A and B are shown apart, each in its own frame.
Chain A
Amino acid sequence: MSVTGSRRLLSVVAFIAVSLAAGSVQAQTRAETLRYVTGASVNTLDPNIPGSTREAFAVSLSTYDRLVSFGRKQLNGKWVFDLGKITGELAESYDVSPDGLKMTFRLRKDAKFQDGTPVTAEDVKWSLDRVVTAPVLGKAQLLTGSMTSADQFKVIDPLTIEVTLPKPDKLALPNLATVYPIIFNSKVAKAHATADDPWALAWLKENTAGSGAYKIETFKPGEQVIMARNEAWNRGTTDKSAFFKRVIVQSVPEPATRANLVERGDADLVIDLQASDVQSLEAKGKLKVISTPQYNSVTFVSMNNQIPPFDNVNVRRAIAFALPYDDMFKAALFGRGSPLFGATWADGKPSSGTYPIPQPVKLDLEKAKEYLKAAGMPDGFSTTFSFNVGQASTAEPMAALVKESLAKIGIKVDIQKLPDAQMSTQINEKKLPFFTEGIVAWLPSTDYFYRNFYTGNQRWNYSSINNPELVEIAQKARFEPDAAKYEEDGIKLNAIHFSEIPQIPLWQPSQDAVMASSVEGYTYQFHRQVDYRDLNRK
C-alpha cells in the first residue's frame, strides 16, 4: 500500500467522520426546534392591530410578557388554562385591595427587555396607556374589565404600578392576562413614534420591543415566522428559559398536507386539521393527539329575533326541536367535541349557573309541529340558512341536515354559503334570519358571555335579542362579589335563555392538537392557539 493510498483512506475516513458529525449537529438542532404548521398566517407582530389573526396572538405572547398570566389546571385529564388562577409574569407579586378598587403590581427586579434594559413601571404604564388610548383592539377588551382611561394607571416607584378601578370588577385582573396588554419597551417604541402615530403602531407592527421568551428571527407575513430563544428570559414554569431553541411557525394552507407533514415527522405540532384526518391519525396511534373541548367557545344556530317569523318564540322552539342534533354532531365534527343538547333538567330548571350548559332539547318532530301550530304557522314557511365559506367543512354537512329535517315539518330552507367578508357584513347589519356561527370568550364567565353575546344592539348579539330582564341580571352579576348569589344569577340567565331560545347552542368543538409523541406540555389556551413556551421535548 502506497503513501497516497493510505492518505486517500485517511481522507475518506475523515470525510465520513465529518459528515456524521455534521449530521448529528443537524439532528440536534432539529430536536431543539419546534416546527408548528398552521392553515392561517401571522400578519402582525403587535396583536393590537385591527385585523390581527389568532396566529399572531400566539407569536406575540412568546415575544412579549404581560404583567400576569393564567395558571393551568386539569380538565378531564387534559391541561387547560385556569381563569381562576392568575400568576405573575412580569409581576413578582400583586395585591388587590380589600374593597377591590386597587390592584398593585410589584415587578420582578431581574426582568429585562431583549435589548438588555430593565423593565420598569414606566414601561408598564406606557403600554397600558397605549391599550386604552390608541385605536387598537385592546381598548374594547379592557373595557370589559373596567379599564378605560390612562388615569387609572399610576407609577408608584420604578418597580411598582397601581391600577385603580371605578368599581370592583372580577374581570379586571384576568383582562391583564389577555393578549392585548403586553408590555412594550417604551423607550424603543417612543423612538419610533411619529406625530401622526404617537403609539408607534406602524413600527411595532413589523418589529418587536419586548421582554418575552423568544426573539423574532424572520417574519414573512403569510408564510412563516421564525423565532429564536431569548436565553435571558427566566419566567418559565421553573424560572427557566423556554425549552425550544427555535420555533418555526409556518403557514401550510392545505389541511391534507399539514396532516402528512406531522405524520411523516417533518412537523412537530398542528392544531387545525380536519376532523377526519385527526380521527385517522389517532387510529394509527403513532402520534400524540390531545383533544380538548374548547370550553370557552360555543357553536350555535342563531335566529334573528327581530325578523319574522323568528320574532315568534314558538317558531324558535319549533326549530329547536326539529334539528337532527346527533347526525349534525357526527357529520360536522365526527363527534369530536362536547354536545350541548340532549340534557334533562330536573323540574325544568337549569342544572347550573355556568355558561354554556347542555340544553334540554332533542330531535322531536311532533313537538316541533305543535310549536309551529302554536305559532300560527302549521304549514311552515320559507327561509334561508347561511354559513361562511371559512367554516364550510363543518357547516356544509350540517346545513344539508338542517334543510332535510326542517322540510319534514314544512319549513323550506335555502342554503346560503357566503364568503367570510360578506357573512360578517350581513351579521353586522343584522340581515341574516337564520345561520350558524361560533363564539369564543377569552374570559369565560357567565356574565361575560351574556353581556357580550345577548345584549345591546351590537354585532356580537347575533340573535338581536332584547330582553330587559336578561340585561339587568347580566349587568348586576358582573359586580356581584358573592359566589352563591352569582351562581343564582347564572341559573336565572340560563333559564331566560332557554325559555326565549334566541339561539340554539349545539356543541363545543374540540381543539385537536396533533403532535410528535416526543412533544410534551401542551396546554389549551384561552386564545385557542399554542403557547410555545409551554412545550418541551422529552
Chain B
Amino acid sequence: MQAIGATMIRAGRRFLSSLPALFGVLVFTFLLMRVLPGDPAVFFASGPNAGQEEIEVIRKQMGLNKPVPEQLMLYLYDVGSGNLGRSMMTGQLVAKDLRERLPASLELTLTALLIALLSAVPLGVLAALRPGSIIDHGVRFFCALGVCVPTFVSGLLLIYVFYYLLGLAPDPTGRVDIFASLPPRQTGFLLIDFLLAGDFDGWWAAFRQLILPALSMALFVVAPLARITRASMLVSLGSDFVRTARSVGLPWWRVVVTYALRNAILPVITIAGIVFSTMLGANVLVEKVFSWPGVASYALDALLSSDYAPVQGFVLLMATVFVIVNLMVDILYGIADPRVTIG
C-alpha cells in the first residue's frame, strides 16, 4: 500500500518535471505554424465573392492581425486558462473537438495495440523457441508483410474483401452504424458506454465497426513487437537462470512463461509504449479510410487548411499523451521487475 502511494507521488513529480518540455512544445508549434507558408485568412475567405474585407474579418477572428509576440502571449494566457482557441474548420472550440474525438482515437489505438500484443508476443516467443526453424521464418515473413503494406492499403483491402465482396463487415464509416442510437456519453469509449447502458446490441455493433480499422493498424505494428519479443526471449532463454530452471526439472511452460518471458518482457513494454504513442498520431490514414472521427484526421485536415488552433492543440495533446504513456511504461516496469523504481 505504502509502495503504491510512494509510486504515485514519484509519478506526480515526474509529470511535473515534464511540464517545461510541454511548454517548449507549445511555443515551438506556435512559431512553426506561423512560419509555414500560406495565409489561413485567405484560405477561409475562399467562398464566392469573398474579397479583401472578408479576409480582414477572418484575420481578426483568428487574432492574426496582432504582432506575433502579442499573439503568443495571448495564446499562452488562453492555454493557461484551458482555452485552446477555436477551429475555423469545424467552428467549434478546439478543446471541445479534441475532447470529443480523443476517445475515438484512444479506443481504436488501444484495441489495435491489444490485438498486436496478443499476436506478436506469442509469435515472438514461438520464433525464439525454435530459432532458424520454419516457424521462425514464417513469423519473419508475416512481420515483413505487415510492416511493408501501408495501413491505408491494408485498410482498403480489408474493406474491399470484408465489406464490399463478402458483406460480413458493417459499412466502414464511423464508430457505430449511422442508424443506431448512441449510448449516453459517460467515458466517450463506445465499448464501455454501451456496457454501462446495458445495450449489448449496441456494443456488438460498435465492436464490429472497430474490428477492421483496429486490424489494419495492428498489422502494421506486429512486426516491431514480435521482433523485439523474439530478440529478448533469445537472450533470456540463453541465460543462466533459465538453464538452472531447466536443470532443476521445472515444467517447460513454467520455464518459458515465468522465467524467460517475465525477464524478456521489459523491452517489449518499452517498445509497446513508443508504438502506442506513434500509432495515436500516425493512424491518420486509417482514420481517413474508415471515416473514424479521431484526433489524427482532425489534425491533418487542420494542417492542410492552415487552421492554426487545432494543429497547436493536437500537438500539445500528443505531447501530453506521450508524457503520460512514458510514465505508465515506467510504472509497468516496476511491476514487471521490482528492482526498477521510477525516480
Alpha-carbon separation in the docked complex, A250 to B177 (Å): 12
Q: Name the contact of A141 in the complex, choosing from B40, B48, B57 (C-beta under 8 A).
A: B48
Alpha-carbon separation in the docked complex, A44 to B87 (Å): 11
Alpha-carbon separation in the docked complex, A476 to B130 (Å): 88
Alpha-carbon separation in the docked complex, A538 to B270 (Å): 59
* Given A140-B53, A261-B171, A264-B163, also A248-B47 (CB < 8 A): no
Is the CB–CB distance between A51 and B45 below 8 Å? yes
Is the CB–CB distance between A257 and B173 below 8 Å? yes
Alpha-carbon separation in the docked complex, A140 to B43 (Å): 17
* Given A50-B47, A252-B291, also A421-B178 (CB < 8 A): no
In B12-54, the 8 Å CB interface with A consists of 37-40, 42-54
Is the CB–CB distance between B301 and A140 below 8 Å? no
Is the CB–CB distance between B42 and A425 below 8 Å? yes
User: Which stretch from A156-164, A220-228, A302-310, A496-504 is at the chain B interface?
Assistant: A220-228
User: Which stretch from B89-97, B138-146, B217-225 is at the chain A interface?
Assistant: B89-97
- For residue B293, give the distance in angstroms from its CB to the closest CB of chain A: 5
Is the CB–CB distance between A421 and B51 below 8 Å? no
Is the CB–CB distance between A224 and B178 below 8 Å? yes
* Given A35-B178, A260-B164, A421-B42, also A222-B58 (CB < 8 A): no
Is the CB–CB distance between A422 and B38 below 8 Å? yes
Asked if A254 CB lies within 8 Å of chain B CBs, one says yes
Is the CB–CB distance between A257 and B51 below 8 Å? no
CB neighbours (8 Å) of B289 from chain A are 254, 257
CB neighbours (8 Å) of A440 from chain B are 48
Asked if B209 CB lies within 8 Å of chain A CBs, one says no
Q: Name the contact of B43 in the complex, choosing from A144, A224, A260, A421 (C-beta under 8 A).
A: A421
Q: Name the contact of A44 in the complex, choosing from B91, B179, B305 (C-beta under 8 A).
A: B91
Q: Beta-carbon contacts of A245-268 to B below 8 Å, as 1s and 0s?
A: 000101111101100110110110
CB neighbours (8 Å) of B305 from chain A are 420-421
- For residue B157, give the distance in angstroms from its CB to the closest CB of chain A: 11
Asked if A52 CB lies within 8 Å of chain B CBs, one says yes
* Given A50-B54, A419-B304, A428-B42, also A261-B37 (CB < 8 A): no
Is the CB–CB distance between B164 and A264 below 8 Å? yes
- For residue B308, give the distance in angstroms from its CB to the closest CB of chain A: 10
Closest B residue, CB atoms, query A266 = B171
Asked if B88 CB lies within 8 Å of chain A CBs, one says yes
CB neighbours (8 Å) of B88 from chain A are 51
Asked if B167 CB lies within 8 Å of chain A CBs, one says yes
Q: Beta-carbon contacts of B282-310 to A below 8 Å, as 1s and 0s?
A: 00000011110100011001001110000
- For residue A185, give the distance in angstroms from its CB to the closest CB of chain B: 21
Is the CB–CB distance between B39 and A421 below 8 Å? yes
Q: Beta-carbon contacts of B87-128 to A below 8 Å, as 1s and 0s?
A: 011111000010010000000000000000000000000000
Asked if B258 CB lies within 8 Å of chain A CBs, one says no
Asked if B269 CB lies within 8 Å of chain A CBs, one says no
- For residue B304, give the distance in angstroms from its CB to the closest CB of chain A: 6
- For residue B221, give the distance in angstroms from its CB to the closest CB of chain A: 21
CB neighbours (8 Å) of B297 from chain A are 253
CB neighbours (8 Å) of B38 from chain A are 419-425
Asked if A452 CB lies within 8 Å of chain B CBs, one says yes
- For residue B208, give the distance in angstroms from its CB to the closest CB of chain A: 14
Is the CB–CB distance between A264 and B37 below 8 Å? no
Is the CB–CB distance between B37 and A221 below 8 Å? no
Is the CB–CB distance between A205 and B91 below 8 Å? yes
* Given A419-B38, A425-B43, also A50-B58 (CB < 8 A): yes
Is the CB–CB distance between B91 and A264 below 8 Å? no
In A194-236, the 8 Å CB interface with B consists of 205-206, 220-224
* Given A135-B57, A261-B171, also A30-B179 (CB < 8 A): yes
CB neighbours (8 Å) of B301 from chain A are 222
Is the CB–CB distance between A425 and B179 below 8 Å? no
Asked if B278 CB lies within 8 Å of chain A CBs, one says no
* Given A43-B90, A206-B91, A253-B288, also A421-B306 (CB < 8 A): yes
Is the CB–CB distance between B288 and A49 below 8 Å? no
- For residue A30, give the distance in angstroms from its CB to the closest CB of chain B: 7
* Given A251-B291, A264-B171, A419-B306, also A140-B54 (CB < 8 A): yes
Closest B residue, CB atoms, query A246 = B179
* Given A50-B58, A260-B163, also A43-B91 (CB < 8 A): yes
Is the CB–CB distance between B179 and A33 below 8 Å? yes
Asked if B172 CB lies within 8 Å of chain A CBs, one says yes
- For residue B47, give the distance in angstroms from its CB to the closest CB of chain A: 5
Q: Beta-carbon contacts of B159-189 to A below 8 Å, as 1s and 0s?
A: 1100110010001111000110000000000
CB neighbours (8 Å) of B293 from chain A are 220, 222-223
Asked if A61 CB lies within 8 Å of chain B CBs, one says no
- For residue A480, give the distance in angstroms from its CB to the closest CB of chain B: 22
Alpha-carbon separation in the docked complex, A141 to B289 (Å): 37
Asked if B55 CB lies within 8 Å of chain A CBs, one says yes
Alpha-carbon separation in the docked complex, A256 to B159 (Å): 10
Q: Name the contact of A257 in the complex, choosing from B55, B61, B159, B178 (C-beta under 8 A).
A: B159
Alpha-carbon separation in the docked complex, A171 to B196 (Å): 58
In B38-81, the 8 Å CB interface with A consists of 38-40, 42-55, 57-58, 61
Alpha-carbon separation in the docked complex, A314 to B117 (Å): 66
Q: Name the contact of B58 in the complex, choosing from A30, A33, A51 (C-beta under 8 A).
A: A51
Q: Beta-carbon contacts of A409-422 to B below 8 Å, as 1s and 0s?
A: 00000000001111
Is the CB–CB distance between A221 and B57 below 8 Å? no
In A20-77, the 8 Å CB interface with B consists of 26, 29-30, 33, 35, 37, 41, 43-44, 49-52
Is the CB–CB distance between A50 and B48 below 8 Å? no
CB neighbours (8 Å) of B164 from chain A are 260, 263-264
CB neighbours (8 Å) of A52 from chain B are 47
* Given A422-B38, A425-B38, A458-B51, also A51-B172 (CB < 8 A): no
- For residue A297, give the distance in angstroms from its CB to the closest CB of chain B: 11
Asked if B135 CB lies within 8 Å of chain A CBs, one says no
Is the CB–CB distance between B48 and A441 below 8 Å? yes
CB neighbours (8 Å) of A143 from chain B are 49
Is the CB–CB distance between A222 and B51 below 8 Å? no
Asked if A442 CB lies within 8 Å of chain B CBs, one says yes
Alpha-carbon separation in the docked complex, A205 to B92 (Å): 10
- For residue B151, give the distance in angstroms from its CB to the closest CB of chain A: 13
Asked if A400 CB lies within 8 Å of chain B CBs, one says no
CB neighbours (8 Å) of B37 from chain A are 419, 422, 425
Q: Name the contact of A50 in the complex, choosing from B45, B89, B174, B291 (C-beta under 8 A).
A: B45
CB neighbours (8 Å) of A35 from chain B are 178
CB neighbours (8 Å) of B173 from chain A are 37, 250, 252, 257, 261
CB neighbours (8 Å) of B58 from chain A are 50-51
Q: Beta-carbon contacts of B176-216 to A below 8 Å, as 1s and 0s?
A: 00110000000000000000000000000000000000000
Alpha-carbon separation in the docked complex, A251 to B61 (Å): 26
Q: Which of B178, B293, B298, B301 has the most CB of A within 10 A?
A: B178
Alpha-carbon separation in the docked complex, A260 to B163 (Å): 9
Name 8 A/B residue pairs within 8 A (Cβ), A-sorted: A43-B89, A140-B50, A205-B91, A222-B97, A250-B178, A261-B173, A390-B304, A421-B40
- Other A-B contacts than A37-B173, A49-B91, A424-B42, 5 sampled, CB-CB below 8 A, are A30-B179, A50-B58, A220-B100, A253-B288, A458-B51
Q: State the A residues within 8 Å of B (CB).
A: 26, 29-30, 33, 35, 37, 41, 43-44, 49-52, 135, 137, 139-141, 143-144, 205-206, 220-224, 248, 250-254, 256-257, 260-261, 263-264, 266-267, 389-390, 419-425, 428, 440-442, 452, 458-459
